[in-house]
Structure 1
Amino acid sequence: MNAEYDLFVIGAGMAGTTAANRCASQGWKVGIVDTLPYGGTCALRGCDPKKILRRGAEIIDDARLMHGKGVNQNGLTLDWPALMRHKHGFTDDIPGAMESTLKRNGVSTFHGDARFVSRHHVDINGEQHSAARFLIATGARPRPLEFSGQELLVDSTEFLNLEALPRRIVFVGGGFVSFELAHIAARAGVECVIIDHGTKPLRAFDPDLVDLLVRRSEQAGIRVHHSTSVSAVTHTSTGFHVAIERDRATSNIDADLVVHGAGRVPNFDGLDLEAADIAHGPQGIDVFGHLQSRSNPYVYAAGDAAGTPGERLTPVAVVEGKVAASNMLKGIETVPDYAGVPSTVFTIPELNRVGMLEQEAARDGREISVRYHDTSGWYSNYRIGETTAATKVIVDPATDLILGAHLLGPGYSEVINTFGLAIKLGLTTRQLKSVTATYPSVGSDLGSMF
């Protein structure tokens, strides 16, 4: 068709900007739009600012672990406003820098609300633009909650921009967001409570290691309520009442702030996907494995907006953005490779996973060998005073291949990458053990984890 653009991207996060830059570099006329500042959740409202704030919490925790072992922690405090300024020193420049790069590569940039009006037309602030193809990469938003007063909660974006921390915070939900933010706030002296509807939080991770992390969280001053639901949140003269229910018994928790950490859903607000015949569901846009819409062949999707089997992680969004761009440019149907992608809960210490859980491998009918180690007494953890650390590696004894790796401990978010590489490339435990690592380092522990 005779369109204004070869490709129009909706969403200027990592998936969208990756695809826009790649297609523009091949001579395509590309447009991109976002309601929010360019950069996406990870760089501006998630992974990156969260881990900068976590650094302050790490220092506090490290000092406490070494108290009586040569470090005097008395008087050591977390200066939240200064830490927040440090965070802004990174995040504030990202939108402008990202938009400048797009423009330099020839991409036309827009700001505002996008809405489909046909298969090939999108309306932005009352002005229509036509494109031969669209890529939807609009990310995710906090999922709607169903109790009275849910509008009183703040989300992770608002938490990561707090000018000051309150004395008492309740986190609703037992996932990544609640645990990561609670571990930061608790090290700043905040009374933190996590309300988890299920019997065990962080259900995507190894349950034995989750149990250890929950105990470590409680040692840090975080109370975790299991099998508990929130029935209402109400204003009080001093903050909020959070009404909770467990085993048909009700009670209240007082809080100064209540944070939504109960999961996210694809963000299609205002897009009017039906106007462009774009089928979608709770998991995202209904796409083939190669990321093309099943109902509208002119549309592709990537990242949290796409209903793919990939984890909802920034590196996966980048991969999908690259694959979608390549498929559109070349007219091919490459499927992204999701093997060996690790995920981490950046608590203190961090919880990691790559590959299969023990129960998943068992359900798959595989013969497995489970290699579990309590690593709290290993040199790398003794050195820093950490008393909670463990690893579990799932191995196929017939092939010596690693099916899954699960690590809880300081610095293990780096080690999990090696396990991811091993799964992706089909390396055996014998091959990994044959590597001579620099010593003493956390990475040198890897050969003893099998």
Structure 2
Amino acid sequence: MTATLDLIVIGAGMAGITAAKKCSKAGWSVAIVDELPYGGTCALRGCDPKKMLRAGAEAIEAARRLSGKGITGEPRINWPELMKHKESFTDPVPESMEAGLKEAGVRPLHGRARFTAEDRIEIEGQGEIAFRHALIATGAKPRLLEFPGAEKLIDSTDFLNLAELPQRITFVGGGYISFEFAHIAARAGAQVTILDRRTRQLKMFDPDLVDMLLDRSRAAGIEIIDEAAIERVEDADGAHRVVYRTADKSHTVEADLVVHGAGRVPSIDHLELGAAGIETEQGGVKVTPWLQSPSSPRIFAAGDAAASPGKPLTPVAVFEGKIAVSNMLTEKRTEPDYTGVPSVVFTIPELARVGMLEEEARARGDVEVRFTDTSGWFSQKRLGESHAGVKVITAKDGKILGAHMFGPDYAELINIFSLAIKLGLTAAQVKTMPAAYPTGASDIGSLF
């Protein structure tokens, strides 16, 4: 390719694909490159395949909760068949994504890319490409672990492709990945342990509801050990022995599989950003509030690769990609609006959050905080669920500042609070919503 492209997008995840199509539609010459199959983490190695596997765990849990309440027998997961169910979604994605890009006029390229100058990249084995603008949307990768034996761990991608599920699984780290996968594995019959070096797990979520999740996790058979510093992972009779320390005492846990769930970092170190004068901070590409590199203005970044205020979530990556290319196209300085972005830990049941934590809200002034234990409500009673709760935070003027939920189907219900926060609605206005009955949404009026 000898002509100078208007835009080269590095990373064919949802942020990059959305941005590439938008610019091509505007008449720009656009190419996109990725060394991995098109679709990105969410569609192929994260959100979507995880929820496909979770469907099996949900079915098992639903049957167990209603055991003795009209449901009999002991259901079980056939892991290889569940994996085929997952693959029925993931396998067609790369070809479908690439076809959609071609139809939109975007040239798809494959291979590892690196910058060779401020206006050029090189694709391994394919030569250089000149560009007017570039969008870095390379996502994130597992954080490097530095204890002996760390190479024995598998990452989240490997877990989502396991042909068989081992009997004993230990997760290192107490974040989204560990808890979500642990809840799937436990319902599939595995003996599960989570080792976390921190005192508090899932610190971005309401601590009262996290405590409720921890209780529910333990009830599901998951062992959770906090303040556990991994010392090493070693071979042990065809399996693994994880050696960890709590306070001043050393412990071990035997596992057939050890999974890295200890965080992710921007995947940018292979790009040779220095050749283009691109600065980094907090591990990501340094950007202005409008997602432009201050040191290399023709370069923009979006999603997990950017050191922006946005959370590492797919919807954030998508709208950051749209904002970045809009700023390229119009030469304006539009900033992303992160108001009302919800976040969910897809355990069983799920933990959801939107807006401020209680601690953040109280630091800003006088607020009203209402916590409701909803475990005895009809919505949970009909499912046999024992743990559920909601915390809603409102300002003095009644506007909703934050909502925190733990319980069945609350991942859907949190979206109503997301819209309320986005639009600046008050609790009184939300309570006027006539909801279908009986549904989870019909509970909202009683939560304020």
TM normalised by structure 1 equals: 0.98
Structure 2 residue 153 is the aligned partner of structure 1 residue 149 = no
| Aligned position for 2:92 | 93
SS in 2 for 1:293: coil
| Aligned position for 1:426 | 424
| Aligned position for 2:113 | 114
Structure 2 residue 314 is the aligned partner of structure 1 residue 314 = yes
SS in 2 for 1:215: helix
Q: Deviations over 1:186-207 (max 9, x none)?
A: 0011000001111110000000
Distance (Å, rounded) in 2 between the aligned partners of 1:363 and 1:198 = 24
Contact 1:173 1:260 in 2 (8 A): yes
Q: Deviations over 1:201-237 (max 9, x none)?
A: 0000000000010010000010000111111001122
SS in 1 for 2:57: helix
| Aligned position for 1:369 | 368
| Aligned position for 2:303 | 303
Q: Deviations over 1:283-306 (max 9, x none)?
A: 411100100001100100000001
| Aligned position for 1:380 | 379
Distance (Å, rounded) in 1 between the aligned partners of 2:419 and 2:209 = 22
Distance (Å, rounded) in 1 between the aligned partners of 2:350 and 2:441 = 15
Distance (Å, rounded) in 2 between the aligned partners of 1:356 and 1:62 = 31
Q: Deviations over 1:24-63 (max 9, x none)?
A: 0111000110010000000000000000100100010011
How far did residue 427 of structure 1 move?
0.5
How far did residue 281 of structure 1 move?
2.3
Structure 2 residue 407 is the aligned partner of structure 1 residue 409 = yes
How far did residue 448 of structure 1 move?
1.0
Mark the runs of 5 or more structure 2 residues left unpaired by the alignment. none
> What amino acid is aligned across from residue 81 of structure 2 in structure 1?
A
Identity %: 55
How far did residue 3 of structure 1 move?
5.4
Query: Which stretches of structure 1, 4 residues or more, deviate above 2 A after TM superposition?
Result: none
How far did residue 393 of structure 1 move?
0.4
Distance (Å, rounded) in 2 between the aligned partners of 1:13 and 1:33 = 10
Q: Deviations over 1:149-202 (max 9, x none)?
A: 111100000000000000000000000000000000000110000011111100
Mark the runs of 5 or more structure 1 residues left unpaired by the alignment. none
1:191-340 to structure 2, matched below 5 A, reads: 191-340=191-340
| Aligned position for 1:345 | 345
| Aligned position for 2:37 | 37
| Aligned position for 2:187 | 187
Contact 1:121 1:131 in 2 (8 A): yes
Contact 1:3 1:132 in 2 (8 A): no
Structure 2 residue 430 is the aligned partner of structure 1 residue 437 = no
SS in 2 for 1:63: helix
TM normalised by structure 2 equals: 0.99
> What amino acid is aligned across from residue 371 of structure 1 in structure 2?
R
Structure 2 residue 118 is the aligned partner of structure 1 residue 103 = no
Distance (Å, rounded) in 2 between the aligned partners of 1:3 and 1:196 = 51
Distance (Å, rounded) in 1 between the aligned partners of 2:155 and 2:282 = 20
> What amino acid is aligned across from residue 233 of structure 2 in structure 1?
V
Distance (Å, rounded) in 2 between the aligned partners of 1:360 and 1:190 = 38
Distance (Å, rounded) in 2 between the aligned partners of 1:251 and 1:282 = 33
> What amino acid is aligned across from residue 448 of structure 1 in structure 2?
S
Distance (Å, rounded) in 2 between the aligned partners of 1:435 and 1:352 = 21
Distance (Å, rounded) in 2 between the aligned partners of 1:442 and 1:394 = 19
How far did residue 329 of structure 1 move?
0.6
Contact 1:300 1:324 in 2 (8 A): yes
SS in 1 for 2:146: coil
> What amino acid is aligned across from residue 251 of structure 2 in structure 1?
S
| Aligned position for 2:83 | 84
SS in 2 for 1:22: helix
Distance (Å, rounded) in 2 between the aligned partners of 1:54 and 1:208 = 24
Contact 1:266 1:282 in 2 (8 A): no
Distance (Å, rounded) in 2 between the aligned partners of 1:75 and 1:367 = 51
Distance (Å, rounded) in 1 between the aligned partners of 2:130 and 2:154 = 37
Distance (Å, rounded) in 2 between the aligned partners of 1:258 and 1:196 = 13
How far did residue 5 of structure 1 move?
0.2
How far did residue 363 of structure 1 move?
2.3
Q: Deviations over 1:348-403 (max 9, x none)?
A: 00000000000111223x1111111000000010011001000000111x210011
How far did residue 336 of structure 1 move?
0.5
| Aligned position for 2:356 | 356
How far did residue 132 of structure 1 move?
0.4
Distance (Å, rounded) in 2 between the aligned partners of 1:247 and 1:283 = 30
1:9-28 to structure 2, matched below 5 A, reads: 9-28=9-28
Distance (Å, rounded) in 1 between the aligned partners of 2:275 and 2:376 = 60
Distance (Å, rounded) in 1 between the aligned partners of 2:269 and 2:147 = 21
- Tell me the C-alpha RMSD between the 2 structures: 0.9
Q: Which deviates more, 276-285 or 348-357?
A: 276-285
> What amino acid is aligned across from residue 423 of structure 2 in structure 1?
L
How far did residue 238 of structure 1 move?
2.8
Distance (Å, rounded) in 1 between the aligned partners of 2:268 and 2:169 = 30
Distance (Å, rounded) in 2 between the aligned partners of 1:3 and 1:402 = 52
